[in-house]
Chain A
Amino acid sequence: MTTMTRRELLKASGAAGLVIGAPAVLSAQSKEPIPIGTLCPLTGAGGSYGPDMQRAVVAVVERINKAGGIHGRPIQLFHEDDQTNAEAGVRAARKLIDVNRVVAIVSTWASAVTLAVRPLCVEAKVFLIGVSGADTVTQGEHKGYVARTQPNTNLQGRMYAKFAVSKKEWKRVAYLALQTPYARSFGDAFTGILKTAGVTITDDLIYEDKKPSYRSEVTRILATNPDMIMLEGYTPDSVVMAKDIYKAGYKGAILAPSFAINAKFIEGVGAEVAEGIWNMDRAPLYDSPAYKEFSAAVLRTDQSPYAPQAWDQMSIVALALAAGRGEVSGTVIKDHLRAVANPPGTVVYSYAEGAKLLGEGKKVNYEGASGSCDFDAIGDILSAPFSVQQVRRGKSELVQIINP
């Protein structure tokens, strides 16, 4: 029944909007649909995540359209598959921008794809928001047309550190990372916070990929007597590393990203070596009303952290357009992104709530299914919840949620 009330209120607020700003009236009268594109990976390496993300976007749009659209205009979605491939992503983005004339592209996944379509969007003044993690996604000149809901490596490093500091028995921590573009920025954020908290960083070692063994790296690390090793790698090298660490007789704790400590990893090293390894992942905001609405509305095939982010991305884009008093463009979205997503303002958990308050001329602060969705100057999110898992009897089990 609440939806009915919301709908009525929305109509009322739409009418109120007509009376206020005069220039907005003209464009608001148009009933033409607002074109928005999705560019999710439906096939390729991200193929297990894309369909859920797309379903989340569709669910948000259905709600908005049922309640009368944005300024009376329904949203029309155009779906493209980026195939988890930069080249296919660029072709699809060109079609969305040139043929469908979308004002925003939501829910790109792979960093390579987001980076490849970024210049196209900036040039065409189309707003781009995705779940890509590479730091370069938001770096450099993009005039505000790019944002993401996935934490950058600095935020990840800080959240891992927050958990590590909470484990009082970890007094001596070693950082052991595969050579990747983010190994240094993650490590600096992680070790920096631990040092401030009084934890000793016993060693800081970046290792090469594709080595037949990591015995000497492990020898060096273990010589410093750590009681926790932060192992930041991918699955294949983590398997070799974890085995070498185990063989060397290490009995302390290991913390690693969940994307490395997956089922394949446990199968590769065996349950005994994997036992007790802690791992962390970006988590949704489980107790948020937005998350509850999301999980009731979206049928999911897996529990990855991406679909809740896609839900939030579409909600924020719609709210930013609603805040724009009628004009519809990528520029309106980027100009109002922080106004609707960041404090100050009344906290809202859905487009419907937010649009109503915006119609009354009030400020809103969207808090989503994936987190509080507050953006900094370059389009990175300021905080995100993380989940902590531990491998127990051959399976990763959820232990706790670390909230920012």
Chain B
Amino acid sequence: MPPIAQYVFNGVVTGGILALPAVAFSLLWRLLRFPNFAVSTYLTVGAYVALMLNQGARARIELAWLGALAVTGVVALAVDRIAFRPMRGRRPFSLAIASIGVAFVLENLVRFVWGNDFRSFDVPVTRATSIAGIRVGRDQLLILGVAVAMMALAQAFLLRTRLGIAMRATADNPLLAAVKGVPTERVIAVATLGGGALAGGAGVFLGLDASIDPLMGGGLIISVFAAAILGGVGSAPGALAGALIVGIVEEVGTLVVPPTYKTAIGFTIILAVLLVRPTGLAGARA
């Protein structure tokens, strides 16, 4: 049996990828007061944009990744303008259902354009190296590093910039913030753009780590949802912690329970945490 550290590391990488959409999902939920299930589909959009740049335009994967950030951000913004803005102020339940609809539309658009087959980026697969007895892949480290950096940037933006502070103010009390002169719609636009970019970037990572298909993002929504709930809705560090826990628990759990039940073990433990601490780890007001 290999050391448990290997499983923990595997979980950290999975959690790192999961953390990006989880943070976006969590912040948008807090800001707009509804769970936007289309966020996980932005992963798919990002992966296909990068694929188009990488394979179609022969761009290096780094450039393709930047392109995916930008385009997915714009797609998210367009979706907000077309689907969600006309519904602002409706009940969260209606908006959540609308977001599921948006997810289906995006998914099927991707299918329509690129077909149902899975694809891969044009990058060589490399063997992993062993560090202190743990197998570590070069791209895994890179993915993890970039994910952490993106998270740090997002957190710095929220804490240090005027717009970030305005965003938090709107999240806490939209009415009061609006009265105080915070440009609500602008705040929402920036948050949507940023959230879309985070998810789109994660989609490229997921495509690099596994493969690209129209259902790749949609299949993660439950894990993203769980990470956000676990971390406490509205907290970026909370969502990061939640994503890491979901990732690690799923991987380490395979030591005790057959891997067929990977999803189930994760959720059993999440359920247990929520029973003890209903507001999530970060304890934000739910």
Contacts and interface: CB of A to CB of B under 8 A. Distances in A.
Given A239-B118, A246-B127, A217 B211 contact: no
B259 interface: yes
Interface in B10-30: 10-11, 13-14, 17-18
A357 to B, nearest CB: 50
Contacts of B126: 247
A247 B137 contact: yes
Contacts, number: 94
B153 to A, nearest CB: 23
Contact of B219 (A210, A235, A269, A270): A210
Contact of B209 (A208, A212, A220, A236): A212
B120 A267 contact: yes
Contact of B251 (A215, A243, A249): A215
Contact of B119 (A213, A268, A272, A273): A268
Contact of A223 (B2, B117, B215): B2
B260 A212 contact: no
Nearest to A250: B127
A216 B206 contact: no
B277 interface: no
Interface in B210-267: 210-211, 213, 215-216, 219-220, 251-252, 254-255, 258-263
B22 to A, nearest CB: 13
A215 B262 CA distance: 12
Given A212-B210, A243-B125, A223 B260 contact: no
Contacts of A270: 120, 124-125
A208 B215 CA distance: 15
A155 to B, nearest CB: 25
Interface string B175-199: 0000000000000000000000000
B95 to A, nearest CB: 27
A216 B254 contact: yes
A272 B258 contact: no
Given A219-B2, A240-B210, A270-B125, A208 B262 contact: yes
B128 interface: yes
A216 B7 contact: yes
Nearest to A242: B125
Contacts of A235: 118
Contact of B260 (A206, A213, A219): A206
A386 to B, nearest CB: 27
Interface residues of A, number: 31
A300 interface: no
B127 A247 contact: yes
A212 B203 CA distance: 10
A269 B254 CA distance: 25
Interface of A, secondary structure class, is helix
B125 A249 contact: no
Interface string A11-55: 000000000000000000000000000000000000000000000
A259 B6 CA distance: 32
A207 to B, nearest CB: 5
Contacts of A213: 10, 13-14, 209-210
What bracket does the count of chain B residues touching chain A fall in?
A: 35 or more
A207 B127 CA distance: 22
A219 B211 contact: no
B54 to A, nearest CB: 14
B275 interface: no
Contact of A208 (B10, B135, B259): B259
Contacts of B119: 268
A212 B120 contact: no
Among B125, B206, B261, B262, the one with the most A-chain Cβ atoms within 10 Å of its Cβ is: B125
A273 B11 CA distance: 24
Given A205-B259, A217-B254, A268-B118, A212 B135 contact: no
B132 interface: no
A128 to B, nearest CB: 30
B10 A216 contact: yes
Contacts of A179: 260
B260 A236 contact: no
A352 B219 CA distance: 56
A239 to B, nearest CB: 5
B272 interface: no
B244 to A, nearest CB: 14
6 contacts: A208-B263, A215-B14, A216-B11, A219-B135, A220-B254, A268-B211
Given A212-B14, A249-B130, 12 more contacts: A207-B259, A208-B260, A211-B262, A215-B251, A216-B7, A220-B259, A223-B1, A236-B211, A243-B210, A243-B211, A268-B211, A269-B125
In the A-B complex, the 10 residue pairs with the smallest Cβ-Cβ separation, listed nearest first, are A215-B10, A216-B251, A240-B210, A210-B219, A223-B2, A236-B118, A268-B120, A216-B254, A216-B10, A247-B128
Interface of A: 179, 205-208, 210-213, 215-217, 219-220, 223, 235-236, 239-240, 243, 246-249, 264, 267-270, 272-273
